[in-house]
Copies of this chain bind each other. A is one copy, B any other.
Amino acid sequence: MTTTSSHRTDIDFDSPEHQARLAELYRDFAAAGMAPLWTAREELMPLSPRPRAVAHLWRWSELYPLAARSADLVPVGRGGERRAISLANPGLGGSPYATPTLWAAIQYLAPHENAPEHRHTQSAFRFVLEGEGVWTVVDGDPVAMRRGDLLLTPGWCFHGHHNVSDQPMAWLDGLDIPFVSQTDQGFFEFGPDELTDRSVPERSRSELLWGGPGLTPVSSTGARPSSPLMAYRWAHTDAALAAQLELEDGGYPGVVSAGHAAVRFTNPATGGDALTTMRTEMHRLRAGASSLRTRSSASSVWQVFAGAGTVTVGGADHPVGRGDVVAVPAWTELSFRAGDGLDLFSFSDAPVFEKLHLLRTEVVA
| Residues of chain A at the chain B interface (Cβ within 8 Å) | 1-5, 7-8, 11, 13, 18, 21-22, 25, 28-29, 32-42, 44-51, 53, 56, 58, 62-63, 66, 69-70, 72-90, 96, 100-101, 105-106, 110, 112-113, 120-122, 155, 177, 179-189, 193, 205, 208-221, 223, 225-227, 229, 232, 236-237, 239-240, 243-244, 246-247, 250, 252-256, 262-271, 274, 276-277, 281, 283, 297, 299, 329-331, 349, 351-353, 355-358, 360
Contact = CB atoms under 8 A, between A and B. Distances in A.
Nearest to A266: B216
Nearest to A297: B185
Contact of A45 (B29, B44, B120, B220): B120
Given A34-B88, A80-B39, A254-B208, A155 B357 contact: yes
B254 A37 contact: no
B213 A227 contact: no
A214 to B, nearest CB: 5
Closest 5 CB pairs of A and B: A38-B80, A5-B75, A35-B96, A184-B330, A3-B77
Given A45-B120, A355-B355, A37 B84 contact: yes
Contacts of A283: 218
B80 A33 contact: no
A188 to B, nearest CB: 5
Given A271-B267, A356-B352, A49 B215 contact: no
Copies of this chain, count: 4
A235 to B, nearest CB: 9
Counting chain B CB atoms within 10 Å of each CB, which of A53, A270, A329, A356 scores highest?
A356
Contacts of A34: 58, 63, 66, 85-88, 106
A163 to B, nearest CB: 10
B183 A25 contact: no
Contacts of A36: 70, 74, 84-86
B212 A330 contact: no
A38 to B, nearest CB: 3
B63 A5 contact: no
A356 B338 CA distance: 35
Contacts of A13: 75
A77 B5 CA distance: 5
Given A7-B110, A34-B66, A41-B80, A208 B244 contact: yes
A221 B264 contact: yes
Given A37-B83, A47-B189, 20 more contacts: A3-B76, A4-B78, A7-B110, A8-B75, A25-B74, A33-B58, A37-B81, A41-B82, A45-B120, A49-B184, A53-B184, A180-B358, A184-B299, A205-B250, A209-B243, A213-B236, A214-B265, A217-B244, A218-B264, A355-B355
